[in-house]
């Protein structure tokens, strides 16, 4: 599929959607269930591919004779591309629009996903993984900006919770499906299935997502640079970026290398069994919407501090020997991370009124830079000290996150409510 064909598909899809979008008042505090479902599906399809490869890392290490560090960087390749592109796509979206970016990015994402199946070496696999990451910010960054523009008050936190829940569900399904697809048809054929699913997602979003009503284009590049400078000195944005970096460092480092830990003695889990471990992500689908109540009652700052502390306890629990104890630790750790992510995203949406897409892009730059570092540094640490040393690195990063939340976040209880 060439870029021209993709452009035609996007234009046709968007033009059709003008008449087919569900009826919705952007000012209402009660978004329709169709919109909630669509926002959740956007998050799901955005993250269906990002971490799916974690479930088959032990197999890929054998197939391509890869080291632990190379395995980590295969995960990190997509995350690195997301970090690089997030601010730029945010600026471009501020100039062009929201919905065309979301639909077009979903269509593009299917291409490198299918090409992964053809990878002849670990290098080519890394390239296609990087290409996947180039499109993801066009979904994630722009969706957050879309929600912040079209809604206000309680509707923002409601839709953000559905979006994050969708992201959590996508992270689980990607790993779960690919792990089991590998046992049924092999990981290469599995990626063809994943690409087809992404195309279906693009068609759904193109049909059901209402077009922007509140968007005002800002094609002035000089104004965008000025806004960028303001964001870089904005306490809300900087704090969210630092916190996001620590959050994804922990999540990527933990769920990448726990696979290698559980594939070794004494567990020796298969790819299907490893995929089942990621069912702990489903807890986040439930907890994240419930976190909106915590945000309204206690505000972002307090909620984040408690969530990080809970996540830290979960990481330490993975040091126990029984498999059930490791799974419980992963469930607690991931739940804390998901609540932290939901609170941080809402923190930006509530407090940043100008250049929202760019602010979201900067947040994701920090967020995914942290994830890239997590994949790389945890790979080095795991190669030297296995899982136990990796856990202590994760705890150290979470302590940094706790310090950022304690001293950097401004209490916004009344504004989130």
pLDDT digits (tens, 9 = 90+) for 307-317: 899 999 999 99
Q: What is the pLDDT of residue 2?
A: 36
Check residues 196 and 16 and name the one with the higher pLDDT: 196
Specify which of 213-217, 354-358, 369-373 reaches the highest per-range mean pLDDT: 369-373
Predicted confidence (pLDDT) at residue 51 exceeds the cutoff of 70: yes
Q: What is the pLDDT of residue 256?
A: 87
DSSP secondary structure string, 277-300?
Answer: HGGGHHHHHHHHHHHHHHHHHHHH
Q: What is the pLDDT of residue 114?
A: 95
pLDDT tens per residue across span 189-232? 999 999 999 999 999 999 999 887 877 776 666 766 777 777 77
pLDDT tens per residue across span 157-180? 788 878 878 888 898 899 899 999
Q: Cα angle at 391 between 373 and 291, to 5 degrees?
A: 80
Predicted confidence (pLDDT) at residue 29 exceeds the cutoff of 70: no
The residues, ordered by sequence, that sit 6+ positions from 324 with a Cβ below 8 Å of its Cβ are none
Q: Would you kindly state where each structural domain of the chain is located, as residue ranges?
A: 9-16+31-416
Check residues 413 and 348 and name the one with the higher pLDDT: 348
Report how far residue 362's alpha carbon sits from residue 399's, in angstroms, rounded to the nearest whole number. 22
Mean pLDDT, to the nearest integer, of 256-263? 90
Q: 339: pLDDT confidence band, cut at 50, 70 and 90?
A: confident
Q: How large is the angle between the packed helices 137-150 and 356-408, nearest 10 degrees?
A: 90
Average pLDDT, the chain: 82
* Superfamily of domain 9-16+31-416, CATH level 4: MFS general substrate transporter like domains (1.20.1250.20)
Predicted confidence (pLDDT) at residue 378 exceeds the cutoff of 50: yes
Mean pLDDT, to the nearest integer, of 3-25? 39
Which token pair is 48? 């269906």
Report how far residue 50's alpha carbon sits from residue 367's, in angstroms, rounded to the nearest whole number. 14
Phi/psi of residue 21, nearest 5 degrees? -65, 145
Q: 395: pLDDT confidence band, cut at 50, 70 and 90?
A: very high
Cα 4 to Cα 10, 32, 132, 200, 204, distances in angstroms: 10, 34, 18, 20, 21
Report how far residue 319's alpha carbon sits from residue 332's, in angstroms, rounded to the nearest whole number. 13
Predicted confidence (pLDDT) at residue 38 exceeds the cutoff of 50: yes
Report how far residue 403's alpha carbon sits from residue 9's, in angstroms, rounded to the nearest whole number. 47
pLDDT tens per residue across span 92-147? 777 777 888 899 999 999 999 999 999 999 999 999 999 999 999 889 888 888 88
Contact between 281 and 371 under an 8 Å Cβ cutoff? The reply is: no
Specify which of 21-30, 77-86, 214-223, 276-285 reaches the highest per-range mean pLDDT: 77-86
Q: What is the pLDDT of residue 357?
A: 67
Predicted confidence (pLDDT) at residue 289 exceeds the cutoff of 90: no
Range in 202-206, 335-339, 342-346, 397-401 the model is least confident about = 342-346
Specify which of 6-15, 86-95, 100-109 reaches the highest per-range mean pLDDT: 100-109
Give pTM, 2 decimals. 0.75
């Amino acid at each position: 599929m060439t870029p021209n064909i993709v452009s035609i598909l996007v234009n046709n899809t968007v033009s059709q959607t003008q008449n087919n979008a569900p009826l919705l008042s952007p000012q209402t505090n009660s978004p329709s269930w169709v919109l909630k479902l669509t926002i959740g599906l956007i998050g799901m399809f955005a993250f269906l591919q990002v971490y799916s490869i974690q479930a088959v890392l032990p197999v890929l290490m054998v197939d391509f004779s890869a080291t632990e560090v190379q395995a980590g960087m295969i995960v990190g390749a997509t995350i690195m591309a997301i970090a690089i592109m997030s601010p730029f796509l945010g600026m471009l979206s501020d100039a062009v629009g929201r919905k065309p970016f979301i639909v077009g990015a979903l269509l593009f994402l299917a291409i490198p996903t299918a090409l992964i199946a053809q990878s002849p070496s670990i290098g080519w696999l890394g390239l296609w993984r990087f290409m996947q990451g180039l499109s993801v910010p066009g979904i994630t960054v722009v969706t957050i900006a879309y929600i912040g523009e079209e809604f206000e008050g309680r509707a923002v936190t409601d839709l953000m919770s559905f979006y994050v829940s969708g992201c959590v569900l996508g992270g689980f399904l990607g790993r779960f499906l690919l792990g089991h697809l590998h046992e049924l048809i092999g990981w290469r054929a599995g990626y063809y299935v994943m690409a087809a699913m992404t195309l279906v997602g693009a068609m759904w979003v193109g049909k059901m997502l209402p077009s922007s009503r509140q968007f005002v284009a800002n094609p002035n590049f000089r104004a965008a640079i000025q806004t960028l400078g303001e964001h870089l000195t904005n306490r809300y944005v900087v704090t969210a970026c630092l916190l996001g970096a620590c959050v994804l460092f922990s999540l990527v480092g933990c769920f990448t290398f726990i696979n290698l830990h559980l594939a070794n003695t004494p567990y020796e889990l298969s790819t299907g069994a490893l995929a089942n471990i990621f069912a702990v992500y489903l807890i986040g689908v439930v907890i994240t919407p419930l976190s909106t109540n915590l945000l309204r009652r206690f505000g972002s700052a307090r909620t984040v501090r408690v969530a990080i502390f809970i996540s830290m306890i979960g990481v330490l629990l993975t040091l126990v020997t029984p498999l059930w104890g490791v799974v419980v630790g992963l469930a607690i750790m991931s739940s804390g991370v998901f609540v932290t992510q939901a609170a941080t995203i809402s923190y930006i949406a509530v407090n940043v009124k100008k250049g929202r897409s760019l602010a979201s892009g900067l947040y994701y730059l920090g967020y995914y830079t942290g994830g890239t570092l997590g994949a790389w540094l945890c790979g080095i640490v795991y190669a030297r000290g296995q899982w136990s040393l990796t856990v202590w690195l994760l705890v150290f990063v979470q302590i940094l996150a706790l310090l950022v939340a304690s001293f950097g976040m401004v209490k916004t209880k009344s504004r989130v409510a």
